[in-house]
Amino acid sequence: MSQRVVVVGAGIVGLCVAWQLAKAGAAVVVLDRAAPGSGASSGNAGAISAGSVAPLAMPGVLRQVPGMLLDPASALHIPPRYALRAAPWLARFVASARPARVAAIAEALSGLLGNAMEAHRAILAEEGALDLIRETGQLYLYRDRTHYTKDAAGWALRAQHGLRIEELDGAAAIRALEPDMQGDYHLGLFLPDQGSSVNPRRQAEVVARGVARLGGEVRQAAVTAIATAGGRAIGVMTTAGLEPADQVVVAAGAFSARLLAPLGLRIPLESQRGYHVMLPDAGISLSRPVVPADRKAFISPMEEGLRLAGTVEFGGLEAPPTPRRAALLFDDLRKAFPQARTAGAEGFWMGHRPCLPDSLPVLGPVQQWPGLWCAFGHGHLGLTGAAPTGVLLARAMLGPKPNQDLAPFALERFG
């Protein structure tokens, strides 16, 4: 008899896990309190960044943090009312920037993300939706070499793990690739092997339909607790009652720690709130996501217009969005594309990036609770990491044993 698996969360991570489980023959039910792909997975910048193996906590980045916190227009914001709440997470974040730890994290991320493009392609090819991904690279912009130096260690680490980086020296070389770039940027880093999604929400919907096509079910239901008996997980409680399962996968993004806390599992999962604005008619044409690196914002061409996405705001899961943070994205755009039209911008969107302090997701079994599995905490790279996570987790759950060691991603690393 096939295994009955309940996946909590129909974000791109839960859906890719469910897709692989259903393909491997499990009887899968995905439960989400909202529509598939309507959480963080709907509004991200669409970058599929298989080579992004440098953790967020790099010594160079840490040096930039104090200045960023003092600048109200910077890409990072921690409101004073939240500073105390964020402090333990930030202490762990700083601790993970030790050189030996950074090297180990990059190694683990490289193993997880390295074949992300292939893993996305494999799902979308079977679903007849390869038009969702674009394989024209990504472009990072620096004002000059001095400015680039701040990030040099991160780029060196990525290159060491195989990321192909082509330097574009001077604004003319940048314009040869993206003719509409008219800002004050004189060094470009072109990453030809990185990709992007032209519509992350539609991508999630396609994968959800794929789960159903493979015999699984994606159903709307709020999960109120993980159900346990005899020291193991036996399903989940929903507002409609018990949903029994042989195995349960928690893939509830930034909300995952809340579901696990009643089981005595304390996980330092923090939301890094990010924003986007859509410009249906910006009047510029881009062939790939462009990132003005001083602003840490993505300018991504998508099928419904140009998406400006970025900023990191600590503030938890309950506080209302801060429109001022989203408005900063217009300045980011103007720095590189001063001629872009912002009239007609469609409101703004906020989403919760599920972030662990060491930039590694939690993937794999929970030792203390047989039958319980985790797939959350992909932070800034959840779209990228979703498809390879699906492959890895399905193999860990149903076999054959995955080639990659799950130990670096274990929940137990938090003690």
Ligand X SMILES: Cc1cc2nc3c(=O)[nH]c(=O)nc-3n(C[C@H](O)[C@H](O)[C@H](O)COP(=O)(O)OP(=O)(O)OC[C@H]3O[C@@H](n4cnc5c(N)ncnc54)[C@H](O)[C@@H]3O)c2cc1C
* Alpha carbons 362 and 45: distance in angstroms, whole number: 22
Binds ligand X by CB under 6 A, chosen from 5, 7, 13, 282? 13
Binds ligand X by CB under 6 A, chosen from 39, 216, 357, 365? 39
User: How far, in Å, are 8, 18, 273, 325 from residue 75 at the CA level?
Assistant: 31, 34, 11, 8
Residues 6+ apart with CB under 8 A from 73: 328, 331
* Alpha carbons 160 and 168: distance in angstroms, whole number: 19
Q: Which of 260, 274, 354 is nearest to 307 (CA)?
A: 274
Residues 6+ apart with CB under 8 A from 378: 13, 354, 361, 384, 385, 386, 389
Stretch that binds ligand X, among 42-50, 149-157, 207-215, 315-323 (CB under 6 A): 42-50
Binds ligand X by CB under 6 A, chosen from 2, 38, 228, 342? 38
Quote the longest CA-to-CA distance of the chain.
67
Residue 33 found at the interface with ligand X (CB under 6 A): yes
Residue 382 found at the interface with ligand X (CB under 6 A): yes
* 287 touches 312 (CB < 8 A): no
Residue 295 found at the interface with ligand X (CB under 6 A): no
Closest approach of Cβ 273 to ligand X, in Å?
Answer: 7
Stretch that binds ligand X, among 11-19, 101-109, 149-157, 171-179 (CB under 6 A): 11-19
User: How far, in Å, are 157, 220, 245, 268, 379 from residue 357 at the CA level?
Assistant: 19, 31, 31, 7, 9
How far is Cα of residue 236 from the mean position of the Cα atoms in its chain? 25
Binds ligand X by CB under 6 A, chosen from 44, 74, 138, 203? 44
In the block, residue with structure tokens 């149903």: 398
H or E stretch at 213: helix 200-213
Which residues between 193 and 232 bind ligand X (CB under 6 A)?
222-223
Binds ligand X by CB under 6 A, chosen from 6, 10, 282, 362? 10
**Torsion angles phi and psi, residue 120, rounded to 5:** -65, -45
Residue 409 found at the interface with ligand X (CB under 6 A): no
User: 119 vs 383, which CB is nearer to ligand X?
Assistant: 383
Stretch that binds ligand X, among 159-167, 187-195, 209-217, 351-359 (CB under 6 A): 351-359
Pairing relationship of beta strands 195-197 and 362-365 according to DSSP bridges: unpaired
User: 93 vs 186, which CB is nearer to ligand X?
Assistant: 93
Binds ligand X by CB under 6 A, chosen from 19, 378, 388, 393? 378
Binds ligand X by CB under 6 A, chosen from 6, 12, 54, 123? 12
Per-residue interface string for the shown chain with ligand X, residues 234-253, x marking contact by CB under 6 A: -----------------xxx
Closest approach of Cβ 349 to ligand X, in Å?
Answer: 8
Q: Which of 9, 90, 95, 98 is nearest to 268 (CA)?
A: 90
Residue 294 found at the interface with ligand X (CB under 6 A): no
How far is Cα of residue 264 from the mean position of the Cα atoms in its chain? 26
Closest approach of Cβ 383 to ligand X, in Å?
Answer: 3
Residue 11 found at the interface with ligand X (CB under 6 A): yes
Binds ligand X by CB under 6 A, chosen from 55, 210, 216, 351? 351
Residues in contact with ligand X by CB under 6 A are 8-14, 31-34, 38-41, 44-47, 222-223, 251-253, 255, 259, 274-276, 298, 309, 351, 353-354, 376, 378-384
